[in-house]
Amino acid sequence: MSALRGFIRVGQRPQAFRSALGAAQSQGRFMGDQRRFMAFDRSKIFKEFHNKMDISEDAMVKMHFILYKGEPLFDLRKHFLADDGEIKPTRKGFAMQEDVWKAVVANAKAIDSSVAKLKTQMESDDAEVIRMPEIKLVETESRPVLARCSLYEGKIYVDFRQFDVEGEDGKLFPTKKGIMLSHQDWLNLQTKFKDIESVAAENQN
């Protein structure tokens, strides 16, 4: 099953995917159970590369490169082992546009520095939950993308997430578009930066 079918089956639909599905529905090419494509020709819109790259040691966090109308998406997503023995995608993931992905790479040292400060704070603080200040990756007026390191139940996590800005005071509210990685998965991801860039460069030519 392709990544797109996996997204539809579990209900995760990035904006670009929802637009494509809406167009298909309006033209009568998407019928019945909304988890199944009928005669919708995805090849005209999507170009998928079945080279999912394992990020976590248990292979349940993967990076998948996709082209949507010629625009790259770097999909970092958690997976699960289904009853039929196949590893399938979950809703927990972030299909990053190229500017977001480049911002993640560019801010890797800042994120590592935040993790180091968190570890130092853990030595003098017995709190079960510690949240470090956010690191702005992509700053927009309405939907900024932030990274934040945190401690929860003795484990360190790095969260990449898009936020909504609401109210006159500009309060930030987290959206479901994001992924929380364990510290080890974040370290593993950094070792794959060059490989991911190579895959993207090869498949955009």
Per-residue confidence band for 42, with pLDDT thresholds at 50, 70 and 90:
very low
- Identify which of 205, 203, 202, 162 has the alpha carbon closest to the alpha carbon of residue 48: 203
Query: What pLDDT score was predicted for residue 15?
Result: 53
**pLDDT: which is higher, 16 or 198:** 198
**pLDDT: which is higher, 111 or 23:** 111
* DSSP codes of every residue in 130-158: EEPPPEEEE--SS--EEEEEEEETTEEEE
Output the pTM of the full model. Answer: 0.74
